[in-house]
Amino acid sequence: MQRSFKVFLSICLIWLGVCLWGLQASARTVAIALDPGHGGEEEGAMYYGLLEKDLNLKMAKFLKEELSRYPEAEVMLTREEDEQVPLYERARRASEGGADILISLHFNASVSHQSKGASVYITTAEAYRENLRHFADYLLGEFEAVGLDNAGTFARVTQMGGRRGDGSFDDYYGVIRHAVNYGMPAMIIEHCYMDAEADKPFFASEEGLRKLAKADANGIAAYYGLQAADGTAVTPKTAKKYGATTKALENGYYEAPEITGLRLLQYDGMTMGKARFQVSVEDGVGVTSIYLVYKHRETGASAEFSLILPESLTTGTYELEAYIPPYLELGKYDLSYIGAYNASGYDAGYNYAGGSMVGFGKCDWLNSFSYGQEADLTVTKKGTLADLHLDKIIRRLAADMESGLGRGQSLNLAPAGRK
C-alpha cells in the first residue's frame, strides 16, 4: 500500500510540474528593445523640414503604444529623448534590459533620389539569419498592404574583413554587429524614403507614422504569435513573393548580381587620379552599380569609390573607369570589398579571404572567385587638378550617382557601420 501511494504521489507531482511548466510557457513574455536611430547631433536624413532622428523617436513611442495591446510583449526603448547614443551602447542597453531582440527604427534616403519603399536589414549570422528573414517577410507583407513598395530584405557583410569569434564575417551595420556580439538577434527597419514624394504621406504626418507603427506591431505580433488582451490575434501577412522586391516582381528576375572577376588595367598612381578596371559579371537584368573598398596596407585607412557604368551590365566582361578620391595616403592599398546592386534591387558583397573574393547577397552566400590581388592599388603621388577639370569630374560623378538606385548603390558617402 505504501509503495502504491508513493507511485501515485510521484505521478501527481510529475503531472503538476508539467501543468506549471505549461502555464509558465504560455505566460512567457517577449522582451523587445526598440532603438530609435540617430539622436543628438546625429540628425540622420532631413527633408521637408523634418529630421529623421525625430521621426525615429516618434515611431518608437507610437510602436510601443501599439504593442501595449499585447500582454506578452515587454517593450523598452534604447533612448527616450533626443540623445546621442553610440551604437555599442544601444546594444548594451538592450542586452542589460533582457531584450530578446533589438529592432532599430529608421527612415531612408538615397543619393539618386529615385528610390522608394520599405526595407529590412538583418544580421548575416547563421544562428539568427533564417528566422529573421521570415520575420522581415511578415513586416514587408504589412508594408505592402498599406501601399508601400517592398524595397527588400538585406543582410550585409563587413567591408573591412572583420570576423566573429567563430571565424564568420562580421555584419556591416554597427548596431546589428554589436547586438549579435551580445548574443541577441537584431534588425533595422527602414520604413520608407524621406526623399521620395510617393512615400511622403507615410512620414510627413502623425496619421502616416501611426499607420507605419501599426504595420510594425502587426508584423511583430504575427511573428511571435502574440494575442491581444481580448484574445484576438493578428493574421500574418507576407510579401507577395518571399524574398522578392517590388522591382524584382516588375522585372521577373529574382537573383542577386554576381561578380566573377576583377583586375586593374591602368592607373596613373595619383590621388586624385583615374584608373581603368576589367570586371566580369553574371546578371540577367543588369548590374546598376559596382563600388570598391580598399584598405591601406600599413595604416589600415579605407578608401571607397564607384566604377563608372555607362549603362547597366548584363552577363559579360567590361572595361570601366573610376576616379580615385583625392584624400588617399601614399602607399599600397589592398582590395578589401566589392559591392554591387542590380535593377531588381538585390545586392552582393564580396570580401577578400585567402586568395578568393567570397560573395554574400540576397541574405545568403553567393559565388566566390580566385583573386590574386590583381586589382590592388599603389598611390605614388598627390595630384593637382585645374578647376575646370575638377568641375568636369564632379559633374561626371553626379551623373553616375543619378544612375544609382539607393543607399550604397553608387558612391557610399557614409562611414562604415553607421547604423
What does the pLDDT read at residue 210? Answer: 98
Give the pLDDT confidence of 147-181 residue by residue, as tens digits. Answer: 999 999 999 999 888 888 888 889 999 999 999 99
At residue 286 the predicted structure's pLDDT band, cuts being 50, 70 and 90, is: very high
Residue 27's pLDDT is 44
Please report the pLDDT score of residue 398 as a whole number: 53
Q: Is residue 316 part of a domain?
A: yes
Assigned domain for 232 exists: yes
Residue 10 falls inside a structural domain = no
pTM: 0.85
Q: Is residue 370 part of a domain?
A: yes
| Domain assignment of residue 339, given as a range | 250-402
Average pLDDT on 372-397 reads: 73
CB atoms within 10 A of CB 340: 26
Peptide bond into 184 cis (omega under 30): no
| Contact assessment for residue 274 and residue 323, using Cβ atoms and an 8 Å cutoff | yes
Mean pLDDT over 381-409 rounds to 53
Using 50, 70 and 90 to split pLDDT, how confident is the model at 397? low
Which among 242, 101, 297 has a CA at the least distance from the CA of 182?
101
Same domain, 196 and 266: no
Say if residue 345 is in the same domain as residue 259. Answer: yes
Residues 236 and 314 in one domain: no
Q: Is residue 357 part of a domain?
A: yes
Domain boundary among 243, 277, 304: 243
pLDDT value at residue 11: 43
19, 45, 246, 318, 369 from 402: Cα distances, Å: 62, 18, 20, 21, 30
Q: Quick one: pLDDT at residue 394?
A: 55
Q: Which of 112-116, 237-241, 390-394 has the lowest mean pLDDT?
A: 390-394
pLDDT in tens, 9-37: 444 443 444 343 333 333 469 999 999 99
Q: How confident is the model at residue 327 (pLDDT cuts 50, 70, 90)?
A: confident
Indicate if 224 and 267 belong to the same structural domain: no
For the record, the C-alpha cell of 179 comes out as: 547586438
User: Of 180, 215, 243, which residue sits at a domain end?
Assistant: 243
| 185 lies in the same domain as 290 | no
Of 177, 209, 243, the domain-final residue: 243
Q: Evaluate whether residue 19 is within a structural domain.
A: no
- 300 and 389 housed in the same domain: yes
Q: What is the pLDDT averaged over residues 130-145? A: 97
Q: Do 231 and 303 lie in a common domain?
A: no
pLDDT confidence of residue 16? 42
Beta bridge partners of 273: 324
Please report, for the domain that includes residue 153, its CATH number: 3.40.630.40
For residue 294, what is the domain's CATH number? Answer: 2.60.40
Could you tell me if 177 and 290 lie in one domain?
no
Separation of alpha carbons 217 and 72, rounded Å:
13
Model pLDDT, residue 8: 45
More confident call, 384 vs 392: 384
Round to whole Å and give the CA distance between 310 and 54: 39
Quick: pLDDT tens for 243-279. 999 999 999 999 999 999 999 999 999 988 999 999 9
pLDDT at 303: 94
112 pLDDT tier (thresholds 50, 70, 90): confident
- Verify that 182 and 298 share a domain, yes or no: no
Q: What is the mean pLDDT of the chain?
A: 88
Contact 74, 29 (CB under 8 A): yes
Res 195 pLDDT > 50: yes
The answer as to whether 49 is a domain residue is: yes
Same domain, 111 and 146: yes
Task: Give the model's pLDDT for residue 111.
Answer: 83
* One domain for residues 143 and 220: yes
- State the alpha helices, DSSP H only, in 263-386: none
What is the total count of domains within the chain?
A: 2
- Specify whether 42 is located in the same domain as 183: yes
Instruction: Write the pLDDT tens digit of every residue in 333-355.
Output: 999 999 999 999 999 999 999 89
Would you say residue 86 lies in a domain?
yes
Task: Please report, rounded to a whole number, the percentage of residues in the chain having pLDDT higher than 90.
Answer: 79
